[in-house]
Structure 1
Amino acid sequence: MQRDSLQFHNVAATRSIDGHDGVLLQRVPEDVRLGLNEGAQNRMCHPAGAEIRFVPDGPVRVTLSTRVRESVVRPFWGPFQGTEEFVVGAEPRTIEVTFPEKLGRIESDRVDELDFHPRVCRLRLPGEHRGGHVFYHDVEGNVRPPRADELPSLRYLAYGTSITEGEAPLGEHLTYASQTASRLGADLINLGSCGTAFCDEAIAEHIAERDDWDVATLAVSVNMVDRFSVSEFHERARNLVETVADAHPEKPVVPITIYPNARDVCEGTDTEGRCERFREALRDVVRETARDNVSLVEGPDVLDSLGGLTTDLVHPGDDAMIRMGENLAARLETVLAETDSP
């Protein structure tokens, strides 16, 4: 969406909240948010993978505030990570940025190699524990929204749990979804939902109704292991996969089974083998749907080593996220190539 000559990427709606001067940024429209489970309604107000984008002409000042907790905002210039980070709290804070002069001297043929043009400022907003709900107040300075040719042409949508939203890595650019997008040369739409990825009908219909993605992964869902029976999971996952795949028969839809976690490796934690039963249920869903555009990826093939996990043995840290991005991007490249082949 656009506002004040800014592009709000991975932001589907803004909303006024009593007691706040700015507008809340949220990742799904309000009617979709209210159709989700209660926890997911809150998670979609965390701007994981959201960015405020613009091309400046001179210095630009963007004013933001936050609730729930302080938020770390990092500017990127195209694919280049800025040297500053800004901590935004409950009181509005104005972030001032100026185009780095050295980036303007990159040779034009080298700029053409980049998926993002370096003149595009990307204020990357925090998801998960790195921040709270972010409010936009205003912008000062001469700006325009980026053009399509200054952004990646491929768009990758990721739905899943806190692992997709990005629980543990130190920055948004280190989540596996962001790492995957970077390796694909794609723009990321992150719909991760910490602790609440229950394959709700509202999120299935929302993804199905969107036309702004080219490939989608559905990482479902360790969040459901303790809350739903295997049969309930099967039905919810089947509805999600079929709803999305049938709405976009020309686009790859890639369900991902549960990533390895403590239940798989700690003695006495999963005596009933529930994680593996949930993985098998998702395999059954893919077999039963039999859609040409649906391809299963095994979570243990993406997270192929325990060593990069954090100490909770659930959430991948920086190293594991990077490795996951490498593995998943390689798989998606194959899927996309098969889709494009005659």
Structure 2
Amino acid sequence: MHTHDWITTPLTAALVRGALELERTEHGGLLPHRLPARARAQCVDPQLALAESQPSGVRLAFRTRATAVELDTLPTKRVYVGAPPRPDGVYELLVDGRPHARAEARGGHTLTIDLATGATEHRPGRPATLRFTGLPDRAKDVEIWLPHNETTELVALRTDAPVEPVPDRGRAVWLHHGSSISHGSDAAGPSTTWPALAASRGGVELINLGLGGSALLDPFTARAMRDTPADLISVKIGINLVNSDLMRLRAFTPAVHGFLDTLREGHPTAPLLVVSPLYCPLHEDTPGPAAFDLGALGEGKLRFRATGDPAERAAGKLTLTVIRDELARIVRQRAADDPHLHYLDGRALYGESDYAELPLPDELHPDAAAHRRIGERFAELAFAPNGPLAARTA
């Protein structure tokens, strides 16, 4: 094919799914955000800024007869001082919902992070071009899932046939919030994070607000969810509150109520599922904060350890066991007045026997096989005909 055969289609919100806001950059590209500017202005935590700019669950979606697609992107690569190199983020192209091809973008910006000191350095880079070929020559839905763990600016889209937005298929929108596990840490690719797998099996449209390290009951996240159109909502609460050691039980209980109250302001009757933490031996009965295991880092491995003292539970320090018990109690209390509120024990998704079979490689995050299991189980439990998120998936 000659270059003059390419059709360039402007990148607009009509072609992007899963982002809450699109920022027009100085290069004329689009930077997807998973929290709106108002929320970002209320927190200067660099961890949150990094997490919300990583486009987990964000994808380009269009209808076309094209057999070849080119996408120019400007990724930001993360380098951790002293740690093994991170793999490049993966782009996955799906045709009518089925995997067709994978690609990686070389180059781009580089963000160097020193875990010991917290210091960062940003080096600018150049865009990369991804090319996907061999698509079937017929009208079809094409999705390009952006890397779930790599900040990605969209620069240009070219195809060898015209592109139009995917028509509304009438699928329910599922809005989910959680930690780095929901964000997709250690999944094989963006369409195989556990929420993406669950959404595919449940036949729903995913908006994934899994924010690595940042599922902290932040009021601005609750307001962003309140203001986002959605049919089905889930919130996975717990692990980040323990491993950041951010609050005690006295603050936790009203913060959960406040978060749920805010969600209900915008979605008074939507099915709402509260999910407690997955099984994680590190923090089942030992409070945080979690810390990098510097001994493992010295061997080129990334591993975490708990630094709290189990005796501190008496003073209100949080553990996963404490949080599960309290979340179950809160949901029971509220469900008396809210028949669309439900609770799911995270150990039903990944429990002690799963840890024995598919252990957490760094003691916190599931691997690709565990993501698949969690996604399949969530779909079975939540999206089943009699499940808590079934009411509006038809």
Q: How does 1:213-232 map onto structure 2 within 5 Å?
A: 213-225=230-242, 226-232=245-251
TM-score of the superposed pair, with normalisation by structure 1: 0.84
Q: Which moved more, 1:191-200 or 1:93-102?
A: 93-102
Indicate the residue corresponding to 1:203 in structure 2.
Answer: 221
Picking from 259, 272, 277, the partner of 1:258 is 277
Indicate the residue corresponding to 1:63 in structure 2.
Answer: 72
SS at match of 1:312: coil
Picking from 367, 376, 386, the partner of 1:326 is 376
Extract unaligned runs of 5+ from structure 2: 1-9, 79-87, 109-125, 288-305, 314-318
User: Given that residues 272 and 389 in structure 2 are in contact (C-alpha distance below 8 angstroms), is that contact kept between their aligned partners in structure 1?
Assistant: no
Q: Kindly indicate which of the two structures has a greater share of residues assigned to helix.
A: 1
Q: State the shift of 1:194 in Å.
A: 0.5
Task: Say whether residues 1:286 and 2:331 are aligned partners.
Answer: yes
Indicate the residue corresponding to 1:184 in structure 2.
Answer: 202
The one-letter amino acid paired with 2:339 is: D
Task: Say whether residues 1:27 and 2:34 are aligned partners.
Answer: yes
Q: Against the structure 1 CA distance between its residues 221 and 82, is the aligned structure 2 distance closer, same or farther, given a 3 Å change threshold?
A: same
- Alignment size in residue pairs: 318
Task: Say whether residues 1:143 and 2:163 are aligned partners.
Answer: yes
The one-letter amino acid paired with 1:295 is: H
Picking from 347, 362, 368, the partner of 1:300 is 347
Q: Against the structure 1 CA distance between its residues 15 and 278, is the aligned structure 2 distance closer, same or farther, given a 3 Å change threshold?
A: same
C-alpha deviations, 1:247-291, integer Å up to 9, x for none? 323211101111111325799966346221111221222123232
Two-structure CA RMSD over aligned residues (Å): 2.6
C-alpha deviations, 1:141-198, integer Å up to 9, x for none? 421111113xx61221110000000001111222111121112111111000101111
Q: Against the structure 1 CA distance between its residues 248 and 163, is the aligned structure 2 distance closer, same or farther, given a 3 Å change threshold?
A: same
Q: Against the structure 1 CA distance between its residues 71 and 264, is the aligned structure 2 distance closer, same or farther, given a 3 Å change threshold?
A: closer
Picking from 44, 51, 75, the partner of 2:52 is 44
SS at match of 1:137: strand
User: Given that residues 64 and 93 in structure 1 are in contact (C-alpha distance below 8 angstroms), is that contact kept between their aligned partners in structure 2?
Assistant: yes
Q: State the shift of 1:245 in Å.
A: 3.0
Indicate the residue corresponding to 1:107 in structure 2.
Answer: none
User: Given that residues 5 and 144 in structure 1 are in contact (C-alpha distance below 8 angstroms), is that contact kept between their aligned partners in structure 2?
Assistant: no
* Equivalent-residue separation in structure 1 for 2:195 and 2:241 (angstroms): 20
Q: State the shift of 1:98 in Å.
A: 4.5
SS at match of 1:63: strand
Q: Against the structure 1 CA distance between its residues 282 and 145, is the aligned structure 2 distance closer, same or farther, given a 3 Å change threshold?
A: same
Q: State the shift of 1:229 in Å.
A: 0.8
Q: Against the structure 1 CA distance between its residues 138 and 337, is the aligned structure 2 distance closer, same or farther, given a 3 Å change threshold?
A: closer
Q: Which moved more, 1:78-87 or 1:257-266?
A: 257-266
Q: Against the structure 1 CA distance between its residues 207 and 266, is the aligned structure 2 distance closer, same or farther, given a 3 Å change threshold?
A: closer
Q: Against the structure 1 CA distance between its residues 265 and 25, is the aligned structure 2 distance closer, same or farther, given a 3 Å change threshold?
A: closer
Q: State the shift of 1:73 in Å.
A: 1.2
SS at match of 1:101: coil
The one-letter amino acid paired with 1:170 is: A
* Equivalent-residue separation in structure 1 for 2:53 and 2:237 (angstroms): 20
User: Given that residues 62 and 139 in structure 1 are in contact (C-alpha distance below 8 angstroms), is that contact kept between their aligned partners in structure 2?
Assistant: yes
* Equivalent-residue separation in structure 2 for 1:4 and 1:287 (angstroms): 43
Q: State the shift of 1:99 in Å.
A: 6.1
User: Given that residues 65 and 88 in structure 1 are in contact (C-alpha distance below 8 angstroms), is that contact kept between their aligned partners in structure 2?
Assistant: no
* Equivalent-residue separation in structure 2 for 1:134 and 1:195 (angstroms): 19
* Equivalent-residue separation in structure 2 for 1:82 and 1:34 (angstroms): 39
Picking from 100, 109, 127, the partner of 1:92 is 127
TM-score of the superposed pair, with normalisation by structure 2: 0.74
Q: Against the structure 1 CA distance between its residues 88 and 242, is the aligned structure 2 distance closer, same or farther, given a 3 Å change threshold?
A: farther
The one-letter amino acid paired with 2:94 is: F
